[in-house]
Amino acid sequence: MPLVSTKEMFKKAYEGGYAIGAFNVNNMEIVQAIVEAANELKSPVILQASKGARDYANPVYLKKLVEAAVETSDIPIALHLDHGDTFELCKSCIDSGFTSVMIDGSHLSFEDNVALTKKVVEYAHAHGVTVEGELGQLAGVEDEISVEHHSYTNPDDVVEFVTRTGVDSLAIAIGTSHGAFKFKPGQNPQLRFDILEEITRRLPEFPIVLHGASSVSQEYVKIIQENGGSMKDAIGIPEDMLRQAARSAVCKINIDSDLRLAFTAGIRKTFNDKPEVFDPRTYLKPARANIKDLVKHKITEVLGSEGKAV
Ligand code: G3H
Ligand code: 13P
Ligand code: ZN
């Protein structure tokens, strides 16, 4: 099955009350683990690459890895640009075969965000590519811009933004944040479901996206801590909240930090258990297996997308 855009995926996810996992990819093992997990569970999946991922792996390598994933599986896969920050970057991804792009103008003024997003949408739609925009700002560090507090999405803005830009999906800020330290110790993790509901009321049947949606598995944090790592007080979004979001208008849930934790836990444990190991395959295998287990868990317990690859 060739790469698909997110249009059909989101329509089915909205109607079916589940979400599609959007997993960040940076190397071969990560691509393999995600796609093997999704393929075995017959789940559609989004592979997303950030600007940093393209710089790290080289855009050609990354694209070819995804092509290999498509060739060796039998499920709908979308290739998405995560946090595109310029028209040129989005264009380059569209020209090289991405089927979906995000233009992240969330740090711009409303008018500048509209103008930039609209320009990307015009180019993308002319090439059959779907576009994700963003309104509101997540707390945390993103693309070297640090935001101390959440700037929740204002429901009053969403209809105008979607209408004027023509975006296909909208990332919103309701209390999630990027990275492995989403809440302070003792803080009660909370998401603003009231804002999500109000946005859904204003934008019926429109796909919503959640960034910063890793749950930061304490099992992997413990393994990392016990094997020489330092991740004290790493806290993520509780899975039941994400499941609730997936049942609603949220059609895409972004996960990167959880993959990093699973991978790192596998490598650290092998290094600690077997100091004599120096064959990368020996420590990358358990790291890859951890990601595969994690993605299966997300599909069945969080996203609800198992068996939806039809
Ligand atoms: O939201 C950001 C993603 O986790 C990608 O991170 O820019 O370090 O690749 P990155
Ligand atoms: P996490 O850091 O919570 O995994 O979020 C990833 C993300 O939003 C990628 O765009
Ligand atoms: Zn993000």
Give Rg (Cα) of the chain. Answer: 19
Tokens (6 digits) for 55: 């710089």
Nearest CA to ligand 1 atom 3: 256
Ligand nearest to the CA of 143: 1
Q: Is residue 1 part of a domain?
A: no
- CB-defined site of ligand 2, < 6 Å: 24, 82-83, 178-179, 211-214, 254-258
Considering only CA atoms, which of 225, 223, 250 is closest in space to residue 237?
Answer: 250
**CA angle, corner 14, sides to 201 and 162, nearest 5?**
50
Annotated catalytic residues are 82
Cα dihedral across residues 66, 70, 73, 74: positive or negative: positive
Q: Is the pLDDT of residue 118 over 90?
A: yes
pLDDT at site 150: 85
Residue 212 CA: nearest ligand 1 atom is 1
| Number of structural domains in the chain | 1
The verdict on residue 75 lying in a domain is yes
- pLDDT given at position 149: 80
Residue 21: pLDDT band with limits 50, 70, 90:
very high
pLDDT at 1 (0 to 100): 84
pLDDT at 42 over 80: yes
89-111 exposure pattern, b = at least 16 Cβ within 10 A, e = fewer: bbbbbbeeebbbbbbbbbeeeee
Tens of pLDDT, residue by residue over 84-97, are 999 999 999 999 99
User: What ligand is nearest to the CA atom of residue 180?
Assistant: 2
φ, ψ dihedrals at 117, nearest 5° = -65, -45
* DSSP run (H or E) holding 141: strand 140-142
Which of 256, 263, 264 maximizes ligand 1 atoms within 8 Å of its Cβ, making it the mutation to test the pocket? Answer: 256
For position 145, what pLDDT does the model report? 63
174 within a domain of the structure (yes/no): yes
Segments forming the whole domain that contains residue 99 = 6-303
Look at residue 309 and tell me if it is in a domain. Answer: no
The protein residue with its alpha carbon nearest to ligand 1, atom 6, reads 50
Q: Which of 2-6, 147-151, 234-238 has the lowest mean pLDDT?
A: 147-151
In a domain, residue 196? The reply is yes
Is residue 256 in some structural domain?
yes
Contact 84, 102 (CB under 8 A): yes
Residue 244 lies in a domain: yes
- Pick from 60-64, 143-147, 213-217: least confident: 143-147
CA distance 138 to 150: 5
pLDDT of residue 146: 65
Contacts of 309 (CB under 8 A, 6+ apart): 38, 42, 43, 44, 74, 75, 76
d(CA 187, ligand 3 centre) in Å: 22
Residue 308 lies in a domain: no
> If you average pLDDT over every residue of the chain, what do you get?
96
Residue 131's identity, in one-letter code, is V
Ligand 1 midpoint to CA 274 (Å): 31
> Percentage of the chain with pLDDT > 70?
98
Confidence of residue 168 (pLDDT cuts 50, 70, 90): very high
In angstroms, the CA 222 to CA 219 distance is 5
* Nearest CA among 50, 3, 45, 5 for reference residue 24: 50
**Measured distance CA(84)–CA(93) in Å, rounded:** 9
What mean pLDDT comes out for the span 79-108?
98
Q: Is 80 exceeded by the pLDDT of residue 142?
A: no
pLDDT band at 37 (very low <50, low <70, confident <90, very high): very high
Task: Say what the pLDDT of residue 212 is.
Answer: 98
Query: What pLDDT score was predicted for residue 45?
Result: 98
In ligand 2, the atom with minimum distance to the C-alpha of 211 is 8
Among 138-152, 230-244, 253-267, 291-305, the minimum mean pLDDT is found in 138-152
Residue of the CA atom closest to atom 8 of ligand 1: 52
Task: Say whether pTM exceeds 0.85.
Answer: yes
Residues that place a CB less than 5 A from ion ligand 3: 211
Domain at 206, CATH number: 3.20.20.70
Q: Which residues line ligand 1 (CB under 6 A)?
A: 24, 50, 52-53, 82-83, 142, 178, 256
